[in-house]
A and B are shown apart, each in its own frame.
Chain A
Amino acid sequence: MSSSANNGRALPRAGRALPWALVTPALGWTLLFFVLPFIAMGLSSLTAHEGGGFTLSNYSQFFTNPSYWQAMVNSLQVTAIVTVISVLLAYPFAWILAEQVPERWQRLALMLAVLPFWTSYVVRSYSWLLVLAQNGVVNRALTGSGLFAEPLQLANTRFATVTGFVHFFVMLLTLTIFANLKQLSPSYRKAAADLGAGPVRTFLHVVLPLTLPGIMVGAFLTFVLCIGDYITPQILGGNNELLMPQLVMMQIGRRGDFPLASALSIILMAVVTIAYLACARWLKIERT
């Protein structure tokens, strides 16, 4: 058998193996750091904290204990508020950056927009605590200007938690929406104008629908990151209400109740999955 014939058979085999070789690191990574821990967490959630036998009580506790259920309600409310406010603030910001700022300044403007990302998340949260404190900048301005006689309770409230979250997620959403706006071909707007549509109509009927996928991707990222965040509500919320991540952490600290913490985490993950399915079906993100 000639060497050329051997090469002729080996090449297609190598060609078939190449995609697997390329995808194996990612598959391995996912298996080690997602699938395996997820299975461990799932099994742990079905194990009794005392004794180690099979049980569903870790799940039933969530549905029968109103305080646990309330944590999910609080998480969903805070996440919904944060997502809506962040989208409402980020869209015009991204639009101004993409449409109004000259291209040579856009890079600098984007860098300035994401500047707060460069600081530690924890430090940023504590900074907000000081800004919103009774003697903080905001209250001093409100009382100093005569708008309020007494300082308002801003820190250690849901308002503070939402503020901390929005500060972070507006930047994230701005980036995703900005990218979407930049990808939009100018010919769409020209065509709309040729057909007699004014700027407002063009925006409402052409630009906005075409950038909805970008909004939804950003909103979904906001939803996922917000509903699973422990630091911001812990620092800024003052524990005046508990969110799901705080409830999960509470099970671990002293009692080390990993089965219950696992069950609560899986329930939280199920909610995120439902949110994803809802978004994917509604806006068909997978087709974008």
Chain B
Amino acid sequence: MSAKSASRNPLSILTSHLHAACAATALLLGAGSAAQAADLNALIWCDHADPALLQPFEKANGVKVNVKEFEGTGAGLAIVEQSQPGDWDVMVIDSIDVPRGVEKGLFEPLPEDKLPLADLFPQVKMDGSTVVGGKRYGITEKFGYNTIGYNKTKVDPADMQSMAALTGDKYKGKVAIYDYYLPVIGMAALAIGKKTAELTEADLPALKEELLKMKANAKLVGEVTASQTALATGEVDILVGGGEWVTAGLAKENPALDFSVPKEGAVLWSQSLAMFKDSKNKDMALKFIQYIMSPEGQARLATSSCYWGMPANTKAALTDDQKKVLRFDEQPGFLARAQAYPAPNADLDKKMQDMWTEMLQVK
């Protein structure tokens, strides 16, 4: 719908031509360092940039993997729109956003028979998002929880079994909030007894009230590095929205950091791999996806230097120590209590972000 109406609008045509001109200029200037067609070009999150993950694949297949990191689906899709068709082969994307890429006609259906779908934790397959029109466009590679991360030497772990601790007076000024509106709004929903998959505009006032209570207790609202630093340096003792992705990677240096899945539940995040329809290297792209989904690839991805997370494949070749840090054996219980990442439509998404902005501005 939007593509068609945009194509008829003169303003949109002019804008897109200018964008194309700007992009062409940038491409022209960057031609010296442009990715080679024979290489594998991947749009990724930082965990895929770890040489320990990429080098075994590159050596085994005699291919160079060129990576471009991005944060946020909107930013990632903007990079694709400003590229030439075929520039990119694979993309890491929030599982709930796979349909956005499919709507734009970007992704190629994946061959289910060539992927280890049977080995995945059933709850993280996310078929509601990764399968569109009966075809699979994404495969979940890694997941985890937006829940309560904390320093167990500074807080009572028993308190961390309830979200009430986040808004009570006991830990006032000792809390940081992860700066991403969807999962934290999901946590606020859990705290007030709402299901994350059923949120509507009517729920926004109650959600806002809960968010403001959290903000009143918080010392900061920080993105990944800032919130990790705050927890690691003792600036705060609790991270709302934290989880294994914050604590596991720091476990060696700071074993006091841990996470809980409170009685209200946690928000399940998951990231997927998708292949581009216009990829010029589809065979290698599929090989890359198969490698990432293999037990060895899954173990390396799960313990990436950028951030740790649970591998989607139950057969990931993790060591016992790694499994312990990730609390691998507790996953069935965690998954049973976890709820889906909120996946609002465009209108509700905008309203949620505006509510988040309002919360940030409250002093």
Q: Interface residues, chain A, CB within 8 Å of chain B?
A: 32-33, 36-37, 39-40, 43-44, 46-47, 49-54, 65-68, 70-71, 74, 126, 129-130, 133-135, 153, 155-156, 234-235, 238-242, 247, 250, 252-258
Question: Given that A134-B234, A256-B78 are contacting pairs, would A129 and B229 also be in contact in the complex, using a CB cutoff of 8 Å?
Answer: yes
Question: Assuming the A-B contacts A65-B354, A156-B219, are A241 and B15 also in contact, with contact meaning beta carbons closer than 8 angstroms in the complex?
Answer: no
Q: State whether A71 touches B235 (Cβ < 8 A).
A: no
Given contacts A40-B22, A47-B15, A67-B354, is CB(A52)–CB(B9) below 8 Å? yes
Interface flags for B1-45 (1: CB within 8 Å of A; 0: not) read 110011001011011001101100100000000000000000000
State which of A65, A155, A254 has its C-beta within 8 Å of the C-beta of B74.
A254
Q: In the complex, which residues of chain B have a beta carbon less than 8 angstroms from the beta carbon of A67?
A: 354, 357-358, 360-361
A-B complex: 6 closest residue pairs judged by Cβ atoms: A256-B74, A52-B6, A238-B220, A253-B72, A239-B221, A40-B18
B73 at the interface (CB under 8 A from A): yes
Contact A156 B361 (CB under 8 A): no
User: In the complex, A33→B346 CA distance in Å?
Assistant: 32
Docked CA distance A208–B357 (Å): 43
With A134-B234, A134-B235, A239-B222 known as contacts, the answer to whether A258 contacts B358 (CB < 8 A) is no
Range class of the B interface residue count: 35 or more
Q: Within the complex, what minimum Cβ distance (angstroms) separates A271 from chain B? A: 18
* Residue from A32, A47, A256 within 8 A of B12 (CB atoms): A47
Nearest to B179 among chain A residues (CB) is A239
Contact call B361/A70, Cβ cutoff below 8 A? yes
| CB of B77 within 8 Å of the partner chain | yes
- Chain B residues whose C-beta falls within 8 Å of the C-beta of A255 in the assembled complex: 74, 346, 349-350, 353
Contact (Cβ within 8 A) A241 B219? no
CA distance A255 to B347 in the complex (A): 11
* B169 adjacent to chain A (CB < 8 Å): no
> Could you tell me if B74 and A238 are in contact, using CB atoms closer than 8 angstroms?
no
- 11 sampled A-B residue pairs with Cβ under 8 A: A40-B18, A43-B18, A54-B9, A66-B358, A133-B235, A156-B219, A234-B223, A252-B78, A255-B353, A256-B72, A256-B77
Docked Cα-Cα span, A264 to B180, in Å, equals: 20
Q: Which residue of A lies closest to B229 (CB)?
A: A129
Q: How long is the Cα–Cα vector from A65 to B360 in the complex, in angstroms?
A: 14
CB neighbours (8 Å) of B319 from chain A are none
Does B256 make an interface contact (CB < 8 A)? no
List, in ascending order, chain A residues with CB within 8 A of B346's CB. 49-50, 255
B6 near A51 (CB under 8 angstroms)?
yes
Q: Which residue of B lies closest to A44 (CB)?
A: B15
Nearest-neighbour CB distance to chain A for B153, whole angstroms, equals 14
By the criterion CB–CB under 8 Å, are B226 and A235 in contact? yes
Identity of the chain B residue whose Cβ is nearest the Cβ of A43 in the assembled complex? B15
Given known pairs A51-B2, A70-B361, the reply for A238 and B221 (CB within 8 Å) is yes
- CB of A257 within 8 A of CB of B221, answer no
Contacts of B226 in A (CB 8 A): 129, 234-235, 238
Question: In the complex, which of the residues B11, B14, B234 has the most CB atoms of chain A within 10 Å of its own CB atom?
Answer: B11
Q: Which residues of B contact A40 (CB under 8 A)?
A: 15, 18-19, 21-22
Residue of B nearest to A262 (CB): B15
Contacts of B223 in A (CB 8 A): 234
B74 contacts across to A, CB distance below 8 A: 252-257
**Would B363 and A240 count as touching, CB distance under 8 A?**
yes
Which of chain B's residues 304-363 have a Cβ closer than 8 Å to chain A?
A: 346, 349-350, 353-354, 357-358, 360-361, 363
User: Is B182 in contact with chain A by the CB < 8 A criterion?
Assistant: yes
Interface centre among A37, A54, A240 (most CB of B within 10 A): A240
Cβ contact within 8 Å between B221 and A240:
yes
Q: How far is the CA of A51 from the CA of B225 in the complex (A)?
A: 35
Most buried by A among B5, B75, B357: B357
Complex CA–CA separation, A68 to B354 (angstroms)? 9
Beta-carbon contact of A253 and B221 below 8 Å: no
Contacts of A50 in B (CB 8 A): 2, 346
B348 CB → nearest A CB, Å: 11
> Told that A156-B235, A253-B75, A255-B350 touch, could you supply 4 new A-B pairs with CB distance under 8 A?
A36-B25, A53-B11, A70-B361, A133-B235
Q: Is the Cβ of B22 less than 8 Å from the Cβ of A256?
A: no
Interface centre among B73, B77, B360, by most chain A C-beta atoms within 10 angstroms, is B360
In the assembled complex, which residues on chain B have CB atoms less than 8 Å from the CB atom of A68? 357
In the docked arrangement, what's the CA distance between A268 and B221, Å?
Answer: 24
Q: Would A39 and B18 count as touching, CB distance under 8 A?
A: yes
**Cα-based distance from A123 to B206 in the complex (angstroms):** 39
Asked whether B360 lies within 8 Å of A242 as measured between CB atoms, the reply is yes
Q: How far is the CB of A214 from chain B (nearest CB, A)?
A: 35
> Within the assembled complex, what's the spacing in Å between the Cα atoms of A50 and B9?
13
Chain A residues within 8 Å of B235, by CB: 133-135, 155-156
Partner of B2, one of A52, A130, A155, A250: A52
The answer to the question of B283 belonging to the interface, with a C-beta cut-off of 8 Å to chain A, is no
- Residues of chain B within 8 A (CB-CB) of A52 are 2, 5-6, 9, 11-12
- Evaluate contact between B75 and A252: CB separation under 8 angstroms: yes
- Asked if A54 and B222 sit within 8 Å, CB to CB, the answer is no
Q: How far is the CB of B180 from chain A (nearest CB, A)?
A: 8
Q: Mark B202-231, 1 if CB is under 8 A from A, else 0.
A: 000000000000000001111101100110
Residues of A within 8 A of B221 (CB): 238-240
Is the CB–CB distance between B14 and A43 below 8 Å? yes
Q: Mark B161-203, 1 if CB is under 8 A from A, else 0.
A: 0000000000001000001101000000000000000000000
A153 to B220, CA, bound (A): 11
Determine which of A71, A135, A155 lies in contact with B361 in the assembled complex, contact meaning CB atoms within 8 Å.
Answer: A71
User: Which residues of the other chain, B, contact A32 by a CB distance below 8 angstroms?
Assistant: 25
